[in-house]
Structure 1
Amino acid sequence: MYLYLGIIPLSLFIIFLISYLIDPRKIINGFLFNFFLITFLTFCLAVSLSSEQYILKLAIIIPIAALLLLIPFAIVAFTVALFLNARTLMRREGRRFANSLTLLLGLAIVAYFIIGSFNLTGRFPLEFQPFFAATSFVIMYFLFHVSNFLSAYFLYQFNRPRLHQDFIIVLGSGLINDKVPPLLASRINKAIDFYHKQAKVTTPPTIIFSGGQGPNEGLPEAEAMQKYALEKGIPLKHTMQENKSVNTYENMLFSKRIMDSLKPKYNSIFTTNNFHLFRAGLYARQAGLNSQGIGAKTAFYYWPNAMIREYVAIVVMGKKRHLIIISIVFFFAALLSLLIYLVN
């Protein structure tokens, strides 16, 4: 009987695989994968518990029990790691708000557990309790959302474009003293590496350097990026500039216009840093560009803070949907609070 339950995770995996192969640039892919994983683990647990094989039962039960016991220690370790990462990042990159996101997340986790441990919400009148419940629901909603985002993000890292591209778009990230900084250089180097790999087997692609001129920059990013690539040995005839864009969406949209004007049908990819890869893919989709990305490695100390920033940006991209859900939750909380007040 339990074997028939295996159809559920198998079906979910097939649905996930089809969705991923059609377009890996979707957060729903993370949801489908997580749903498959939960049902698969549940299926394994059910089969092991129903089995007469004692060793099989232990093989499933012991890891699950160990995982449950480790969760509190993992939360503490994660919180400590956030504070340590914030210290390292601020020392290396400077004390700016953009570099304090891991610190703020660590403080939020500590505050949440302090409020829960001392039951501070219980000291408020009964009419306020629906709002605390609504807040907890919203927190759970975003934990669910961020788990889907992280799964979709990690799955997208496995995307490997084929060596038959007509164009490579390199996304700008800002200049320092009108020079290409290490973060941006890693994106260009990723494109150069792909260029050489493809050139060995077929026609080399054209590299489009995408980035406009910032308020404190003496030249467009695209010009500095192109100069950097030429110094690395890329022929001028295989490079182009897109020097009007000021954000990732415009990088995609303006580069698409250039490619559309040059070739009616083409294959293209884009390069950026791995933490930015998934969100850039979403912008490419919004711009109507059928282009997948490859990510350059990022220093480990920089990655956690960057991922928080990426998630905040993802939330902002879907702000209307999130605001509707939050508004509905607190609307019902307000109604329940009013009802409690009237009854009392």
Structure 2
Amino acid sequence: MADVALWLPAIVWGAIFLWSYWREPRQFRNAFFLFFFCACTLGAAAVFFKQWWITLPIALAVAFTPVITIVFMLVNEVMLVKREGFSLSHALPLLFACAIVAWFGALPVAHAARLPGVVVGFVLAVTACGAWFFLSFAAMLLYSWLYRSLPRRRRYDFIIIHGAGLKGKELTPLLAGRVERACELWNAQGRRATLVPSGGQGEDEEISEAEAMARHLRALGVPASQIALEDRSTTTWENLSFSRDLIAERSSVPDPRSALVTSDYHVFRAAMYARAVGLNADGLGSRTARYYFPTAFIREFIAISRRYWWPYATIMGLWAACTLVFLAFR
């Protein structure tokens, strides 16, 4: 009975994860279910087998991950600036490292400075928001890797290619990788899908991203009759919304299945948005340069966090309520 109780949390979280994934793999909550399942399984295994070294990776991760992350982000910032130049978006690794330092130091500094209780409470609430942020980040990193790694043996009716910036009329290496990954999928399933290059024309671009991708596809041997341009979108949400409408117009089946081809760091958010707009689609990723992945993934996570703001609002709301009660009965 004791053994059952020991493994029960892992069994429960595992069952919840499998049920949720089977129902809909494109949900953010799956990331937390998987994270809690892994944590409970490792903890139970350590106790059951009396092999406490099993928990050593967890302990080391908790103890050293912040320091390793800070060092890694600083090194990545230097590499990114050397290769791409400095910009606000390229400063994300540096800002992320600073946020980790501030998160660890805020509460001790507030306590040492003997700040008023209300201020210390506010710092505590912000620290709790930071804890949720970093937990969410770790959970999403784990789940997004799993989501894009699982094989999908399906035939797709449409293959949507997400746009990115151009160099004049030419594709950047990042965008060329997406187009070539889509072409690989098209060839692998017998050249039977319609490809949908999706991307409008930016203010500094000579042609639309969709047109540039279509030219590259034709150079790779895709006939023009199997290319449908979506050349109005300027955001990921519009990519999916406009592509959904285009697919509905061209499809001869009631619920066509689509593949979303984008960079690997962008796959999970694209899949989430596809679910939100009602598009029956799976995300597939093309490779991203290693030096660029951390910056891109942080940007993706921030974009997702903006849509799932309610945990932070709940924490700050509890702080506000407790503060009002404290001041009322002071």
TM-score, L = length of structure 1: 0.87
State the partner residue of 1:238.
226
The size of the alignment, in residue pairs, is: 327
Per-residue CA shift, 1:165-195, capped at 9, x if unaligned? 1110001112121211111111101100101
The whole-number CA distance in structure 2 between the counterparts of 1:66 and 1:250 is 42
State the partner residue of 1:183.
174
Counterpart AA for 2:147: Y
* Alignment map for 1:1-344 (pairs within 5 Å): 1-5=1-5, 6-48=7-49, 57=50, 60-65=51-56, 67-69=58-60, 71-115=62-106, 121-199=112-190, 204-263=192-251, 264-265=253-254, 266-319=256-309, 321-322=310-311, 324-335=313-324, 338-339=327-328, 343=330
8 Å CA contact 1:175, 1:221 repeated in 2: yes
Local SS of the residue matching 2:14 = helix
Per-residue CA shift, 1:248-271, capped at 9, x if unaligned? 111111111111112233221110
Local SS of the residue matching 1:242 = coil
Which structure has the larger Rg?
1
Counterpart AA for 1:208: V
Displacement, 1:65? 4.0
8 Å CA contact 2:74, 2:94 repeated in 1: yes
Please report the RMSD computed on the Cα atoms of aligned residues, expressed in angstroms: 2.2
Q: Tell me which moved more, 233-242 or 64-73.
A: 64-73
The whole-number CA distance in structure 2 between the counterparts of 1:304 and 1:336 is 42
Structure 1 residues 268 and 65, CA gap change in structure 2 (3 angstroms): closer
Identity of aligned residues (%): 31
Q: Tell me which moved more, 36-45 or 304-313.
A: 36-45
In structure 1, stretches of 5+ residues that fail to align are: 49-56
The whole-number CA distance in structure 2 between the counterparts of 1:17 and 1:68 is 27
The whole-number CA distance in structure 1 between the counterparts of 2:115 and 2:12 is 48
8 Å CA contact 2:46, 2:53 repeated in 1: no
Per-residue CA shift, 1:271-306, capped at 9, x if unaligned? 000000011111111111010110001001000011
Structure 1 residues 27 and 84, CA gap change in structure 2 (3 angstroms): same
Local SS of the residue matching 1:241 = coil
Per-residue CA shift, 1:74-130, capped at 9, x if unaligned? 432221111010011011111100000100111222334444565665431334222
Counterpart AA for 1:101: L
Counterpart AA for 1:301: Y
In structure 2, stretches of 5+ residues that fail to align are: none
The whole-number CA distance in structure 2 between the counterparts of 1:66 and 1:258 is 48
Displacement, 1:211? 0.9
The whole-number CA distance in structure 2 between the counterparts of 1:39 and 1:16 is 13
8 Å CA contact 1:160, 1:294 repeated in 2: no
TM-score, L = length of structure 2: 0.91
